[in-house]
Protein backbone atom coordinates (compact mmCIF):
# COMPACT_ATOMS: atom_id res chain seq x y z
CA UNK A 1 0.00 0.00 0.00
CA UNK A 2 2.86 2.38 0.74
CA UNK A 3 3.94 2.18 -2.90
CA UNK A 4 0.79 3.91 -4.11
CA UNK A 5 1.53 7.44 -2.92
CA UNK A 6 4.78 9.02 -1.68
CA UNK A 7 4.82 10.30 1.88
CA UNK A 8 8.13 11.09 3.60
CA UNK A 9 9.29 10.02 7.05
CA UNK A 10 6.71 7.30 7.71
CA UNK A 11 7.50 4.37 9.97
CA UNK A 12 7.14 0.82 8.69
CA UNK A 13 3.98 -1.22 9.02
CA UNK A 14 6.06 -3.97 10.64
CA UNK A 15 6.88 -1.62 13.51
CA UNK A 16 3.21 -0.68 13.89
CA UNK A 17 2.11 -4.33 13.82
CA UNK A 18 4.71 -5.22 16.47
CA UNK A 19 3.64 -2.61 19.00
CA UNK A 20 -0.10 -2.96 18.43
CA UNK A 21 0.15 -6.71 18.92
CA UNK A 22 2.33 -6.27 22.01
CA UNK A 23 0.21 -3.73 23.85
CA UNK A 24 -3.40 -4.35 22.79
CA UNK A 25 -5.95 -7.11 22.36
CA UNK A 26 -8.50 -7.67 19.57
CA UNK A 27 -11.25 -5.05 19.41
CA UNK A 28 -9.33 -2.58 21.59
CA UNK A 29 -8.75 0.95 20.31
CA UNK A 30 -5.53 2.49 19.01
CA UNK A 31 -4.93 6.23 18.52
CA UNK A 32 -2.46 8.00 16.24
CA UNK A 33 -2.68 11.81 16.72
CA UNK A 34 -0.14 12.40 13.90
CA UNK A 35 -1.33 9.69 11.55
CA UNK A 36 0.39 10.89 8.35
CA UNK A 37 -0.10 8.27 5.66
CA UNK A 38 -2.17 6.00 7.91
CA UNK A 39 0.30 3.23 8.74
CA UNK A 40 -0.99 2.85 12.32
CA UNK A 41 -4.60 2.63 11.19
CA UNK A 42 -3.79 0.11 8.48
CA UNK A 43 -1.91 -2.08 10.98
CA UNK A 44 -4.78 -1.83 13.46
CA UNK A 45 -7.18 -2.93 10.74
CA UNK A 46 -5.01 -5.96 9.93
CA UNK A 47 -4.96 -6.96 13.61
CA UNK A 48 -8.71 -6.44 14.18
CA UNK A 49 -8.32 -3.38 16.39
CA UNK A 50 -10.35 -0.21 16.17
CA UNK A 51 -8.41 2.98 15.52
CA UNK A 52 -8.56 6.75 15.32
CA UNK A 53 -6.18 8.91 13.32
CA UNK A 54 -5.73 12.68 13.16
CA UNK A 55 -3.81 14.87 10.78
CA UNK A 56 -3.95 18.47 9.57
CA UNK A 57 -2.50 17.75 6.14
CA UNK A 58 -5.12 17.22 3.43
CA UNK A 59 -2.91 14.79 1.53
CA UNK A 60 -2.24 12.70 4.64
CA UNK A 61 -5.99 12.62 5.21
CA UNK A 62 -6.59 11.56 1.60
CA UNK A 63 -3.96 8.79 1.69
CA UNK A 64 -5.29 7.39 4.96
CA UNK A 65 -8.88 7.43 3.72
CA UNK A 66 -7.78 5.57 0.59
CA UNK A 67 -5.84 2.94 2.55
CA UNK A 68 -8.98 2.18 4.54
CA UNK A 69 -11.29 1.89 1.53
CA UNK A 70 -13.20 -1.32 0.97
CA UNK A 71 -13.72 -1.95 -2.74
CA UNK A 72 -15.91 -4.89 -3.72
CA UNK A 73 -15.89 -6.62 -7.12
CA UNK A 74 -18.45 -4.17 -8.51
CA UNK A 75 -16.29 -1.20 -7.45
CA UNK A 76 -13.19 -2.73 -9.04
CA UNK A 77 -15.06 -3.36 -12.27
CA UNK A 78 -16.38 0.22 -12.37
CA UNK A 79 -12.96 1.75 -11.68
CA UNK A 80 -11.46 -0.26 -14.52
CA UNK A 81 -13.96 1.50 -16.78
CA UNK A 82 -12.68 4.96 -15.89
CA UNK A 83 -11.43 6.89 -18.89
CA UNK A 84 -10.14 10.42 -19.49
CA UNK A 85 -12.21 12.87 -21.49
CA UNK A 86 -10.49 15.78 -23.14
CA UNK A 87 -12.20 19.12 -22.67
CA UNK A 88 -11.66 22.86 -22.31
CA UNK A 89 -11.23 23.13 -18.53
CA UNK A 90 -7.82 24.41 -17.42
CA UNK A 91 -6.79 24.56 -13.77
CA UNK A 92 -5.40 27.91 -12.72
CA UNK A 93 -3.76 29.28 -9.60
CA UNK A 94 -0.94 31.68 -8.79
CA UNK A 95 2.41 30.64 -10.32
CA UNK A 96 1.01 27.47 -11.88
CA UNK A 97 2.98 28.12 -15.08
CA UNK A 98 6.20 28.29 -13.10
CA UNK A 99 5.62 24.84 -11.64
CA UNK A 100 3.95 23.09 -14.58
CA UNK A 101 4.49 22.96 -18.32
CA UNK A 102 1.47 23.79 -20.49
CA UNK A 103 1.18 20.14 -21.56
CA UNK A 104 1.07 18.99 -17.96
CA UNK A 105 -1.60 21.57 -17.09
CA UNK A 106 -3.77 20.42 -20.01
CA UNK A 107 -3.45 16.74 -19.19
CA UNK A 108 -3.94 17.13 -15.42
CA UNK A 109 -6.94 19.39 -16.00
CA UNK A 110 -8.57 16.76 -18.23
CA UNK A 111 -7.91 14.03 -15.67
CA UNK A 112 -9.27 16.16 -12.82
CA UNK A 113 -12.45 17.02 -14.72
CA UNK A 114 -12.95 13.38 -15.68
CA UNK A 115 -12.56 12.27 -12.05
CA UNK A 116 -15.12 14.84 -10.91
CA UNK A 117 -17.64 13.66 -13.49
CA UNK A 118 -17.03 9.92 -12.99
CA UNK A 119 -17.17 10.00 -9.19
CA UNK A 120 -20.08 12.40 -8.76
CA UNK A 121 -22.11 11.12 -5.80
CA UNK A 122 -19.67 8.31 -4.94
CA UNK A 123 -17.20 9.12 -2.16
CA UNK A 124 -15.21 5.91 -2.56
CA UNK A 125 -14.49 6.53 -6.24
CA UNK A 126 -13.62 10.15 -5.53
CA UNK A 127 -11.12 9.21 -2.81
CA UNK A 128 -9.57 6.40 -4.86
CA UNK A 129 -9.15 8.37 -8.07
CA UNK A 130 -8.00 11.51 -6.22
CA UNK A 131 -5.30 9.40 -4.58
CA UNK A 132 -4.02 8.27 -8.00
CA UNK A 133 -4.18 11.83 -9.29
CA UNK A 134 -2.33 13.22 -6.27
CA UNK A 135 0.37 10.57 -6.55
CA UNK A 136 1.46 11.78 -10.00
CA UNK A 137 1.13 15.56 -9.56
CA UNK A 138 4.68 16.18 -8.39
CA UNK A 139 6.09 13.65 -10.86
CA UNK A 140 4.63 15.57 -13.82
CA UNK A 141 5.39 19.02 -12.35
CA UNK A 142 8.63 20.99 -12.47
CA UNK A 143 9.11 20.35 -8.74
CA UNK A 144 12.44 18.57 -8.34
CA UNK A 145 11.21 15.93 -5.87
CA UNK A 146 9.04 15.34 -2.83
CA UNK A 147 11.86 16.54 -0.60
CA UNK A 148 13.28 19.35 -2.77
CA UNK A 149 10.95 22.29 -3.39
CA UNK A 150 12.71 23.75 -6.40
CA UNK A 151 11.62 24.18 -10.01
CA UNK A 152 13.70 22.31 -12.59
CA UNK A 153 13.33 21.73 -16.31
CA UNK A 154 12.06 18.20 -17.01
CA UNK A 155 12.42 17.88 -20.75
CA UNK A 156 10.54 14.58 -21.01
CA UNK A 157 7.19 16.04 -19.87
CA UNK A 158 4.32 16.12 -22.39
CA UNK A 159 0.60 15.32 -22.43
CA UNK A 160 1.06 11.67 -23.37
CA UNK A 161 3.54 11.17 -20.55
CA UNK A 162 1.05 12.54 -17.99
CA UNK A 163 -1.79 10.34 -19.29
CA UNK A 164 0.51 7.31 -19.28
CA UNK A 165 1.71 7.90 -15.71
CA UNK A 166 -1.88 8.25 -14.47
CA UNK A 167 -3.11 5.15 -16.29
CA UNK A 168 -0.14 3.06 -15.13
CA UNK A 169 -0.67 4.07 -11.50
CA UNK A 170 -4.44 3.54 -11.78
CA UNK A 171 -4.15 -0.08 -12.87
CA UNK A 172 -1.26 -0.83 -10.51
CA UNK A 173 -3.39 0.41 -7.62
CA UNK A 174 -6.49 -1.47 -8.76
CA UNK A 175 -4.39 -4.64 -8.78
CA UNK A 176 -3.22 -3.95 -5.21
CA UNK A 177 -6.82 -3.53 -4.04
CA UNK A 178 -7.92 -6.66 -5.92
CA UNK A 179 -5.42 -8.68 -3.91
CA UNK A 180 -6.36 -7.28 -0.49
CA UNK A 181 -8.09 -9.64 1.89
CA UNK A 182 -9.64 -6.95 4.11
CA UNK A 183 -13.30 -6.72 4.92
CA UNK A 184 -15.06 -3.38 5.26
CA UNK A 185 -13.08 -1.13 7.61
CA UNK A 186 -15.70 -0.64 10.32
CA UNK A 187 -13.94 0.76 13.36
CA UNK A 188 -11.27 2.83 11.60
CA UNK A 189 -11.78 6.59 11.68
CA UNK A 190 -9.57 9.37 10.36
CA UNK A 191 -10.13 13.07 10.96
CA UNK A 192 -8.79 16.17 9.23
CA UNK A 193 -8.52 17.82 12.61
CA UNK A 194 -5.90 19.31 14.92
CA UNK A 195 -4.99 16.75 17.59
CA UNK A 196 -4.73 19.58 20.13
CA UNK A 197 -8.51 19.20 20.42
CA UNK A 198 -8.88 15.47 19.76
CA UNK A 199 -11.11 15.12 22.83
CA UNK A 200 -13.82 16.68 20.67
CA UNK A 201 -13.87 13.45 18.65
CA UNK A 202 -13.04 10.67 21.13
CA UNK A 203 -14.55 9.55 24.43
CA UNK A 204 -12.41 9.78 27.55
CA UNK A 205 -10.85 6.58 28.92
CA UNK A 206 -11.42 4.72 25.64
CA UNK A 207 -7.93 4.27 24.15
CA UNK A 208 -5.67 1.29 24.90
CA UNK A 209 -2.61 2.44 22.93
CA UNK A 210 -1.26 5.64 21.45
CA UNK A 211 1.18 4.81 18.67
CA UNK A 212 2.51 7.78 16.76
CA UNK A 213 5.46 9.50 15.18
CA UNK A 214 5.35 13.23 15.94
CA UNK A 215 6.98 15.58 13.42
CA UNK A 216 10.76 15.70 13.60
CA UNK A 217 11.37 19.38 14.41
CA UNK A 218 12.64 21.72 11.70
CA UNK A 219 13.07 18.84 9.27
CA UNK A 220 10.23 19.06 6.77
CA UNK A 221 7.37 21.23 5.55
CA UNK A 222 4.56 18.80 4.78
CA UNK A 223 2.24 21.57 3.63
CA UNK A 224 4.87 22.92 1.22
CA UNK A 225 5.92 19.71 -0.48
CA UNK A 226 2.28 18.68 -0.91
CA UNK A 227 1.23 22.21 -1.86
CA UNK A 228 0.60 21.57 -5.57
CA UNK A 229 -1.30 18.38 -4.85
CA UNK A 230 -3.57 20.37 -2.54
CA UNK A 231 -4.01 23.23 -5.00
CA UNK A 232 -4.94 20.86 -7.83
CA UNK A 233 -7.46 19.09 -5.59
CA UNK A 234 -8.94 22.39 -4.32
CA UNK A 235 -7.86 21.75 -0.73
CA UNK A 236 -7.15 24.48 1.83
CA UNK A 237 -3.35 24.87 1.87
CA UNK A 238 -3.54 27.61 4.48
CA UNK A 239 -5.30 25.33 6.96
CA UNK A 240 -2.55 22.73 6.69
CA UNK A 241 0.21 25.33 6.89
CA UNK A 242 -1.17 27.10 9.96
CA UNK A 243 -1.91 23.90 11.88
CA UNK A 244 1.31 22.01 11.09
CA UNK A 245 3.74 21.83 14.00
CA UNK A 246 7.52 21.47 13.86
CA UNK A 247 7.84 22.76 10.30
CA UNK A 248 10.89 24.39 8.74
CA UNK A 249 8.66 27.40 8.13
CA UNK A 250 8.37 27.88 11.91
CA UNK A 251 11.93 27.08 12.96
CA UNK A 252 14.07 28.09 9.97
CA UNK A 253 12.07 30.94 8.41
CA UNK A 254 10.31 32.40 11.46
CA UNK A 255 13.15 31.44 13.87
CA UNK A 256 10.79 30.31 16.62
CA UNK A 257 12.34 28.79 19.78
CA UNK A 258 12.15 25.08 20.60
CA UNK A 259 9.78 25.91 23.46
CA UNK A 260 7.06 26.59 20.90
CA UNK A 261 7.43 23.06 19.51
CA UNK A 262 7.51 21.53 22.99
CA UNK A 263 4.36 23.39 24.00
CA UNK A 264 2.60 22.16 20.85
CA UNK A 265 3.60 18.58 21.64
CA UNK A 266 2.53 18.91 25.25
CA UNK A 267 -0.93 20.10 24.19
CA UNK A 268 -1.37 16.99 22.06
CA UNK A 269 0.05 14.69 24.74
CA UNK A 270 -2.33 16.12 27.33
CA UNK A 271 -5.26 15.40 25.02
CA UNK A 272 -3.98 11.85 24.56
CA UNK A 273 -3.82 11.48 28.34
CA UNK A 274 -7.48 12.47 28.58
CA UNK A 275 -8.64 9.64 26.31
CA UNK A 276 -6.20 6.93 27.45
CA UNK A 277 -7.30 4.23 29.85
CA UNK A 278 -5.35 3.78 33.07
CA UNK A 279 -2.31 1.50 32.66
CA UNK A 280 -2.45 1.81 28.89
CA UNK A 281 0.60 2.46 26.71
CA UNK A 282 2.08 5.23 24.57
CA UNK A 283 4.71 4.49 21.92
CA UNK A 284 6.45 7.54 20.43
CA UNK A 285 8.74 7.25 17.41
CA UNK A 286 10.62 10.49 16.99
CA UNK A 287 13.86 11.73 15.50
CA UNK A 288 16.20 14.47 16.63
CA UNK A 289 16.11 17.81 14.87
CA UNK A 290 18.12 21.00 14.75
CA UNK A 291 16.70 24.31 15.94
CA UNK A 292 18.71 27.54 15.80
CA UNK A 293 21.93 25.62 15.26
CA UNK A 294 21.47 23.32 18.27
CA UNK A 295 20.60 19.62 18.10
CA UNK A 296 17.12 18.97 19.45
CA UNK A 297 17.55 15.76 21.42
CA UNK A 298 14.12 14.22 21.08
CA UNK A 299 14.59 11.71 23.91
CA UNK A 300 15.61 14.34 26.47
CA UNK A 301 12.92 16.80 25.39
CA UNK A 302 10.14 14.19 25.44
CA UNK A 303 11.19 12.95 28.89
CA UNK A 304 11.01 16.53 30.16
CA UNK A 305 7.49 16.85 28.77
CA UNK A 306 6.26 13.51 30.05
CA UNK A 307 7.47 14.36 33.55
CA UNK A 308 4.49 16.74 33.57
CA UNK A 309 2.15 13.84 32.78
CA UNK A 310 1.50 10.53 34.50
CA UNK A 311 3.55 8.60 31.95
CA UNK A 312 6.28 6.22 33.11
CA UNK A 313 9.03 5.22 30.67
CA UNK A 314 9.02 1.40 30.38
CA UNK A 315 11.11 0.78 27.27
CA UNK A 316 13.53 2.64 25.03
CA UNK A 317 15.60 2.02 21.91
CA UNK A 318 17.27 4.20 19.29
CA UNK A 319 19.09 4.05 15.97
CA UNK A 320 21.18 6.43 13.90
CA UNK A 321 18.77 8.52 11.89
CA UNK A 322 21.22 8.74 9.00
CA UNK A 323 21.04 4.95 8.68
CA UNK A 324 17.24 4.69 8.77
CA UNK A 325 16.14 7.78 6.81
CA UNK A 326 15.56 7.29 3.10
CA UNK A 327 13.41 10.35 2.45
CA UNK A 328 16.21 12.86 2.04
CA UNK A 329 19.24 12.95 -0.18
CA UNK A 330 22.48 12.24 1.69
CA UNK A 331 23.73 15.80 1.16
CA UNK A 332 20.74 17.28 2.99
CA UNK A 333 20.87 15.17 6.15
CA UNK A 334 22.33 16.36 9.45
CA UNK A 335 24.83 13.93 10.91
CA UNK A 336 24.75 12.43 14.41
CA UNK A 337 20.98 12.59 14.86
CA UNK A 338 19.08 9.65 16.31
CA UNK A 339 15.62 8.18 15.92
CA UNK A 340 14.15 7.21 19.27
CA UNK A 341 11.37 4.79 20.22
CA UNK A 342 10.07 5.58 23.69
CA UNK A 343 7.38 3.46 25.33
CA UNK A 344 5.44 4.86 28.28
CA UNK A 345 2.68 3.55 30.49
CA UNK A 346 -0.03 5.88 31.68
CA UNK A 347 -0.39 5.35 35.42
CA UNK A 348 -3.18 6.34 37.76
CA UNK A 349 -3.06 9.77 39.35
CA UNK A 350 -0.77 9.69 42.34
Q: Could you give the percent of the chain with pLDDT greater than 70? A: 94
Q: What is the pLDDT of residues 255-271, one digit of tens each?
A: 999 999 999 999 999 99
As separate numbers, helices (DSSP H) first and strands (DSSP E) second, the chain gives: 15, 11
Task: Give the pLDDT score at 328.
Answer: 45
3-class secondary structure, 343: strand
Q: Compute the average pLDDT of residues 5-23.
A: 92
Q: Which of 258, 335, 332, 238 is nearest to 300 (CA)?
A: 258
- Decide which of 323 and 252 is more confident: 252
pLDDT of 321: 78
**pLDDT one-digit tens code per residue, 283-311:** 999 999 999 999 999 999 999 999 999 89
The pLDDT score that the predictor gives to residue 332 is: 41
> How many angstroms separate the CA atoms of 191 and 181, rounded?
25
Residue 314 has pLDDT above 80, yes or no: yes
Q: What is the enclosing helix (H) or strand (E) of 77? A: helix 73-80
- Does the pLDDT at position 349 exceed 70? no
Q: How confident is the model at residue 8 (pLDDT cuts 50, 70, 90)?
A: confident
d(CA 298, CA 59): 26
Can you tell me the distance from the alpha carbon of 28 to that of 7, in angstroms, rounded to the nearest whole number?
27
Helix (H) or strand (E) holding 212, with range, is strand 207-212
Query: E-assigned strands of the chain?
Result: 29-32, 50-55, 143-145, 148-151, 188-192, 207-212, 276-287, 289-291, 294-296, 311-320, 338-346
> In this model, does residue 330 exceed pLDDT 90?
no
Q: How many residues does the chain have?
A: 350
Q: pLDDT digits over 78-137, tens only?
A: 999 999 999 999 999 999 999 999 999 999 999 999 999 999 999 999 999 999 999 999
| Average pLDDT of the chain to the nearest whole number | 93
Give mean pLDDT, residues 178-201.
89
Amino acid sequence: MDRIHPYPAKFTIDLALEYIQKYTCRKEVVLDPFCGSGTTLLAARQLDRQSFGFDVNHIAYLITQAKLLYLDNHDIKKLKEFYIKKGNFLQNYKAINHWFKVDSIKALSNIKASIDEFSRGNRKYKVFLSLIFSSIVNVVSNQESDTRYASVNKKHLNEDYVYRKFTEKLFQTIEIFENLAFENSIGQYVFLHNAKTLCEKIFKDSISLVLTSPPYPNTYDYYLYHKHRMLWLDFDVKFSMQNEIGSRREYSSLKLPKEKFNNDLLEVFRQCGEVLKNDSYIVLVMGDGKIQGEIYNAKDEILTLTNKLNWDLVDYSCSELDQTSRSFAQNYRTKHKKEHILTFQRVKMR
